[in-house]
Amino acid sequence: MHPPSAREFLHEFIGHYVALEGKLWKSLLLLLFRPGQLTLEYINGRRVRYIQPLRLYLTFSLIFFAVVKLTGHDDIQADDEAARTPPAATAPAGAVEKAHTKARTTRDVEPGDIAAGTAELRKGIGNVNAHWGEQADRFTNMSPEERDKVMRTAFGSYVPYAVFLMMPLFALYLKVLYLGSGRRYGEHLLFALHVNGFAFLALTLLMVVPDLFGIVSFALWLWLVFYTPVAMRRVYGGSRLTTGVRWFVLMALHVTGMGLAIGAAFGFGILH
């Protein structure tokens, strides 16, 4: 067997790239413009032509967090919360931004104010774990700039993992909401990865695409709001009313859980 020539290597590389690119564009078209159809394609066994759901989700989530950091969107001020944070209907990425905005309110609080207001909390933390208590004390005595750095580090290092770990729980919510549908848990997990991957993609586009007279942002926000219920009807069936009720419950559970998970991620970052 002879070593591959440069021509053979180039041919194999181009063939692999073209195949991957074809899968990417097919997956993107379905993901963006036919909510739920990509999930159905996988459920029905037509998988070879599309990007794997986990890879799709991880790609768009990593791009989202990278763009947040590079564009300075991780420096959102609390005053802008009402204008900049998305409604609960926008799945996980909106909860990420909202929780991060709330967490950043500590930046403008003086160390003495934090120490006075968290004495009992820090004492309780210290009773559980002495190291955590020391870290909490250290955080309360930091300058606003130092606390800002800690919160940024926590956001970049731990929040992506917290968000990812919510995907199995999102699928569990769907399993409960659609009891009797005959869908297996793995199918609900496929749906969770696809719709949450879309949310990350759409929110990334909101940050990087020029907003022409507000039309682009309006269209993307509108699609974010209606995307999940449209996808739910396509995959699970049911009337608009029952789908709407299930969607509302799903979003309420998911945003609440996401807020707790992200809060825990920030806490972990502060205590470690």
Supply the pTM of this predicted model. 0.74
pLDDT values of the chain reduced to their tens digit, one per residue, 272 residues = 555 555 555 455 444 444 456 678 889 999 999 999 999 999 998 888 888 999 999 989 999 998 988 877 665 443 444 344 444 444 455 555 555 555 555 445 555 445 555 656 655 666 666 666 677 667 776 777 777 887 887 888 888 889 999 999 999 999 999 998 899 999 999 999 999 999 999 999 988 888 777 788 888 899 999 999 999 999 999 999 999 999 999 999 999 999 999 888 888 777 77
Residue 125, Cβ density class (10 Å: 0-12 exposed, 13-18 middle, ≥19 buried): buried
Nearest residue to 257 via CA among 173, 156, 153, 152: 173
Report how far residue 111's alpha carbon sits from residue 143's, in angstroms, rounded to the nearest whole number: 6
In angstroms, the first-to-last Cα distance of the chain is 54
Cβ neighbors of 190 (< 8 A, separation 6 or more) are 39, 42, 43, 53
In the chain, domain spans: 53-114+144-271
Is the separation of the CB atoms in 89 and 251 below 8 Å? yes
Is the separation of the CB atoms in 204 and 63 below 8 Å? yes
